[in-house]
Structure 1
Amino acid sequence: MVCIPCIVIPVLLWVYKRFLEPFIYPLISPFISRFWRSAVTETPQKPCADECNGAANGSTAHAPKTVADKKAD
């Protein structure tokens, strides 16, 4: 037996994507693009200082290397 939300939610999503989105999206897309553009431009990228050591972009070439202690049994 399948639960009711497992049937209803996909059907409602299909109805929205198929019939409602073509009418609703053109109305809300200017607002979405305005908020998206302002959110992207309001967060400037600051240059990395000494505390980053190149680890911010995945490079750890300048980071100090540490050796993990092995458990001696």
Structure 2
Amino acid sequence: MVCIPCIVIPVLLWVYKKFLEPYIYPLISPFISRVWPGKVRESNDKNKGKLGFKDADINGLPSKGPTEISDKKKD
């Protein structure tokens, strides 16, 4: 059995995103831009901000210096 909020909340969010947000967002966007001035901009440079797998550790963060990954089991 699924609880009522587990059904109602996703449906309400879908209705908001699909039908209400196109009308509400233009009204509230000036206030949001004053409170949160930083804008997220998409760059046309495809390579900017991307690292190859050889330059990143397991978590995707840049690693310092060479790293070795061994497939051998250590006893």
Q: Which structure carries more helix by proportion?
A: 1
Q: What TM-score do the two structures reach when normalised by structure 2?
A: 0.48
Q: What TM-score do the two structures reach when normalised by structure 1?
A: 0.49
